[in-house]
Amino acid sequence: MQVYYSEAHRRHKPPFEIFDGGLRVPYLENPERMDRILKALQKTDWAEIAEPQDFGLNPIHAVHAEDYIAFLASAWTEWLASEARDKSTLLPATFALRRHPQKPTSLLGRAGYYMMDLSACIVAGTYSAALASANCALSAAEAVANGERAAFALCRPPGHHAGKDYAGGYCFINNAAVAANWLSTQGNVALLDIDYHCGNGTQDIFYERADVLTISIHADPNFEYPYYAGHANETGTGAGAGFHRNFPLDKGTDNARYLSALEEALSLIREFTPKYLVVSAGMDIYAEDPLGTIKVTTEGIAEIGKRIAALELPTAIVMEGGYNNAALGRNIVSLAGEFK
């Protein structure tokens, strides 16, 4: 299996993030995550690590607002030129309520407009890392379009919380959405998100479209981030009505309950009969993940991979979350190994 990976991810290394209540902690979405996964993949006899191609900005602009991408490109330079006292990372203190917001001209005003929370920290290498991450996903999409059974995009930063014109939840460019949109020019696509958190950005991007079926299985947003998206009654609108589904899960959900929800999701995908499948693969569903409350085991993750692979669709697997670094490589190999 082709695994697309870029060392550019190391350029994105914020010194901290801010948890609920204002607690400043080391950044959980760190380069060590990729090191653990790479080490595990290199021990297999099926993973072939490759550099991604550069697809340019057009596939990204097809998903994200051009003014938002321009903000990501210029934000760090503007931040260094600002009068801020702590320039270690760009984080606004005020965020736009997305009702009818005006877009300010100031840097911090635009940052609060384009950023959803305090985990979308921007540092010197964030933009270049995000571009490389999107190119990993596009390379995986191209591989399956060219006949590969499956390909794995080892993306960092992750992407599924990034909407049309906003960053959030460690995500800046929605890698899976960029890949799915690129594939959609060649046939219908199903995008299945198995990350612990709702793929709110993916939902936002495809909510009015019928050519990309989006499904997210995640912790119930009544108690879990991102709180304001991912409820079961959110099923698409306009042309997209009925083409988005959320499966919110309770705290403590075990293998059996998770697999039951997965079977419902897989039935929807079979009914949709897509030409391609994109999987947003978040490993924070793992029982011992520091950010999760779902209790899926490594064996359960392997079973998830087995059942998705049984769809027998050309599949681009795109890395999302997962923050138990000690188990991350093992869990990814358990999932992706079912597609080899």
Please list the active-site residues: 161
Q: CA-CA distance, 298 to 283, in Å (whole number)?
A: 10
Burial class of residue 186 in the structure, from the number of CB atoms within 10 Å of its CB (0-12 exposed, 13-18 middle, 19+ buried): exposed
> Please, are residues 177 and 201 in contact by the beta-carbon 8 Å criterion?
yes
Longest dimension (CA), the chain: 56
**Residue found under tokens 């009505």:** 241
> Please, are residues 320 and 193 in contact by the beta-carbon 8 Å criterion?
yes
Q: Which DSSP string do the residues of 38-93 spell out, in sequence order?
A: HHHHHTSSS-EEEPPP---SHHHHTTS-HHHHHHHHHHHHHHHTS--S--SSB--S
Q: In whole angstroms, how large is the CA radius of gyration of the chain?
A: 18
First to last CA, the chain: 6
